[in-house]
Structure 1
Amino acid sequence: MAVDVAQLISASNELNSAIVLGRCWDQALEQLASAAGAKAVCFSRSTKTDLRMLPSKGLVEPYQDIRSRRTPPYSSKVLILDSKASGFVSDSEPHIRERLERERFFREFMKPIADVPYRASASLLGPSDITGLKLSFWRGSKEGPFDAQDVERLNSILPAIRASAQLAMFGFRQQAREQSVLFRQRGELMFELDFAGRPVEAGVQAIAAHGDPLSIVRGRLVCTAAAEQRRLESVIGRAVAPEPVAGSVRLTRQSDGAPFFLMVTPIHGEAVDIMAPVAAIGVLIDPATKSRTDPAALQHVRTAAGLTERETAIAGLISVGHAISAIARQIGVSDGTARNHLKSAMQKCGVHSQVELAALISRFS
């Protein structure tokens, strides 16, 4: 079955739009598979221990079996046939077919279950990307293998899809940075987690430097209080699951019994587990540490409500939990004067309590 070039270009344009705009990919993937004369198409990311796929309908059920571990062991060879190739590679070549036939995963699972014995695969991040993002077209026995002309036509859309994939990954990276910037401004310990729930490079260093109540053992987060480990693993597991959920857990510092709170927030978006470099953001909150006010948020409130410089300073300190008596000492005025400034700031902002004032400022953040 030949590749239809016109349909292939149209389908790749639709897919590129879905990638860039964050729309649902399902329809675009089906169009792409049809244009390539394939039974299915999928994006995949594989490592030595994990495989993640964004498949079209023809591979959804097999992929669910893969994720639930009801399959023989697999390897990256199943998905990328020649990591050094600059474009698509077909498995119709005898030496590649022979190598794949030796793969237990291919021989015992993909071939009999999904009936997709023929593939054409390409790395989306260049020839040096051995275990990263890949695009694979899968054909069944009825469609037959991809020949040299098919591969040439598939290669015609590869540059555009590569560019869109890189743009999508950049977008997820920006989302992770935006989620973490506020916590960094407040001085909280922040780290990123991969899809196995492990802290990534910079996070490992930050956690090691912070120490108790968390540590790193063999690349994984571990509580210094062993009794809290199960709750920690549960919260992280839910945040990096295929349908992620944010959560938090209370931890205890072993040295003095002081409480901490770990909040784990997933990165959201279509195909996040394929395109995103990280799965979730972890933040360790110390209740005893006063947060730092977001200067931009305070400036917005000051401008909008017409606060004086002194009123703005007091409102900012109130919003991060400082007592009025401590604020008075810090800025060198009496308690009564500080309360008058606070009362004036609350009236200008249209709020009736310190809690409402703090909530207003946090919303500007």
Structure 2
Amino acid sequence: MTPLFASAVAPVAGDDLVYRVHAAGDSDDAWSGVLTQIRERFRVRWAALARHSFATRQGFALYSAPRDPRLSAALSDYASRNPWFLSSDAYREGRVMAGDELLSNRELVKTDFYRGLMLPHGLYHRLCGVIARRNTLVYYLDLHRGPDEPRFGPRERNAFAALLPHLTLALDVRWRLRETDDMNRALRSIVSTHARAAMLVDADARMVFGDEAAREVCEAVAGLRIEDGRIVAAASADHRVLQEAIARATHASADVDERAAQVLSLSAPGRSQPSVISIRAAGAVFSAELGEMRRLAIVTALNVPSEDDHADCAFVRQFGLSPAQARMSSLIVTGHSIASAARELHVSENTARSHLKQIFQKTDTHSQMELVHLHGRICISL
């Protein structure tokens, strides 16, 4: 029969606890299970994976076993008065220490922390392991026993120390998974609400990212359409040009300047003006489906029909265009000819040419296509 307080054994390869630590990932339930198993392994009353900020003097339990909302709330309430956190120097990543190494039990029982938190919950002996340290923020694992239970012995300390690196690695993986997930969600939000809708495609023009808004963009920009999950030109004559531009942006051996964009004008059946799009390299990402890296390109529609007259875009601000020049440049970069722009502005063609000449002078450009390319480089990131 196993004694009630048998010493814990250091984890080894194949240990179920180690496996569960690394398998926890970003699952809250799995981490709660890990804490339950740690509590059982070390025969303690309470085990808590917690964080404490030395800057704000705030702290709380991330996971604990058993789950005791009152005890967790008390830990947060007494964080600023926790005598074990009077000095930050002791909390070095990987260190294992008993509570009485930081404060003698004789002094501990005199504190409000002991009387308000530990005594009501039957806690006394403490063994702490520092899992991670980030500047003034520390993540640690606390094990607690009662006053009528034995102190933590050398073998238990060694077992605890052997477990800490696994917890550190698992917590780092969890953070990286969360960071990736949060960043992915933020980037998707940016793409979805892009002032000029953008789509990520691979070298074969397959859409890697594009929600319902992307499909709406393809419908609005008649020069593009989605066919079997690929971005294709609406006019067959433009298809090769589009594919070559995507291939250049995703060429693995090409020295591509990711800030530069290729600006294309595509025929737009059913619309009076051509479609204007930009294509630029978006870097390489690992594909779980392929099991290898693949390079991506971002395809951006520059002249999606909109009520916005671009009067306050970065291009207008950078070159100090007047309202009339701003409207003229907006029409030119979205595919209008001088005659068409004059009709839209309700001015003569000579007036439209005068506006365009002034725009050329302010932007140091010499042709409508050069103006379109310059506008695309400046405003593509909006």
TM-score (norm 1): 0.51
Give distance in 1, aligned partners of 2:135 and 2:152.
23
Q: Give the equivalent residue in structure 2 for 1:87.
A: 95
Identity of aligned residues (%): 11
Matched, 1:51 2:82: no
| C-alpha displacement of 1:34 | 0.5
Give distance in 2, aligned partners of 1:97 and 1:143.
14
The question of whether the paired residues in 2 share the 8 Å contact of 1:44 and 1:53 is answered with yes
**Which of the numbers 173, 195, 219 marks the counterpart of 1:291?**
195
Matched, 1:333 2:336: yes
Give distance in 2, aligned partners of 1:319 and 1:96.
71
User: Larger deviation: 49-58 or 115-124?
Assistant: 49-58
- Corresponding residue SS for 1:34: helix
The question of whether the paired residues in 1 share the 8 Å contact of 2:17 and 2:34 is answered with yes
| C-alpha displacement of 1:24 | 3.4
Structure with greater Cα Rg: 2
Give distance in 2, aligned partners of 1:101 and 1:53.
22
- Corresponding residue SS for 2:43: coil
Give distance in 1, aligned partners of 2:184 and 2:174.
15
| C-alpha displacement of 1:19 | 3.2
Q: Give CA-to-partner distance per residue, 1:322-347, whole Å, 9 cap, x none.
A: 5699876433337xx9xxxxxxxxxx
Q: Give the equivalent residue in structure 1 for 2:70.
A: 61
Give distance in 1, aligned partners of 2:29 and 2:304.
38
Structure 2 unaligned blocks of 5 or more: 208-217, 219-223, 235-265, 269-274, 278-299, 311-326, 341-382
Counterpart code for 1:307: A
The question of whether the paired residues in 1 share the 8 Å contact of 2:52 and 2:138 is answered with yes
Q: Give CA-to-partner distance per residue, 1:14-56, whole Å, 9 cap, x none.
A: 1331135665322221111011111121111112342121222
Count of residues paired in the alignment: 232
Higher helix share: 1
Q: In structure 2, do the counterparts of structure 1 residues 21 and 60 end up closer, same or farther at CA, with 3 Å as the change threshold?
A: closer
User: Larger deviation: 22-31 or 293-302?
Assistant: 293-302
**Which of the numbers 154, 160, 178 marks the counterpart of 1:154?**
160
After superposition, residues 1-365 of structure 1 pair within 5 angstroms as 1-5=5-9, 9-19=15-25, 23-47=29-53, 48-54=56-62, 55-57=64-66, 59-67=68-76, 69=77, 73-75=80-82, 77=84, 82-84=90-92, 86-93=94-101, 95-98=103-106, 100-105=108-113, 107-125=114-132, 131-182=137-188, 291-296=195-200, 300=207, 302=224, 304-305=226-227, 306-308=232-234, 309-311=266-268, 313=276, 316-317=301-302, 321-322=306-307, 329-333=332-336
Q: Give CA-to-partner distance per residue, 1:109-148, whole Å, 9 cap, x none.
A: 222222111111111125x865321111111234332122
User: How well do the aligned residues superpose, as a CA RMSD in angstroms?
Assistant: 4.2
Q: Give the equivalent residue in structure 2 for 1:355.
A: none
The question of whether the paired residues in 2 share the 8 Å contact of 1:46 and 1:76 is answered with no
| C-alpha displacement of 1:76 | 6.9
State the structure with bigger RCO (CA 8 A, min sep 6), 1 or 2. 1
- Corresponding residue SS for 2:226: helix
| C-alpha displacement of 1:319 | 5.5
Give distance in 2, aligned partners of 1:149 and 1:16.
23
Q: Give the equivalent residue in structure 2 for 1:224.
A: none
Structure 1 unaligned blocks of 5 or more: 189-289, 338-365
Q: In structure 2, do the counterparts of structure 1 residues 99 and 49 end up closer, same or farther at CA, with 3 Å as the change threshold?
A: same
